[in-house]
Amino acid sequence: MEVRFESMVFLWDDKIPTMFLEFMNLLTLCQSEEQLRASVKDFAEKHELDKFFLYGFGSHHFYLHQRYTSDPEMVMQRRVLSVHF
């Protein structure tokens, strides 16, 4: 598992820094794709991950994009990070 930071995070809301740091800690502790999928799902259910970020899985990676807080339907073009497994 390799976490790759690809662009900066915009702190448009006071909740973003703490949530993002907690999420990064979670990602770096995952040891397998299955654990990553379960951890992301659990984290998203307990936090407002969907409100601030768009995320998903490709065939060999997890990706995370940041949403605009002014219009959550709009998503930043560049990924914030990816996790390769």
pLDDT tens-digit readout, 20-76: 999 999 999 999 999 999 999 999 999 999 999 999 999 999 999 999 999 999 999
**Which residue, among 40, 36, 38, 35, has the nearest Cα to 54 in the 3D structure?**
40
- The CA-based diameter of the chain, rounded to the nearest angstrom, is 35
Strand 61-67, strand 53-57: pairing? antiparallel
pLDDT at 75: 97
pLDDT at 12: 94
pLDDT at 74: 96
- What total number of domains does the chain contain? 1
Q: Which domain holds residue 24?
A: 2-84
pTM of this prediction?
0.92
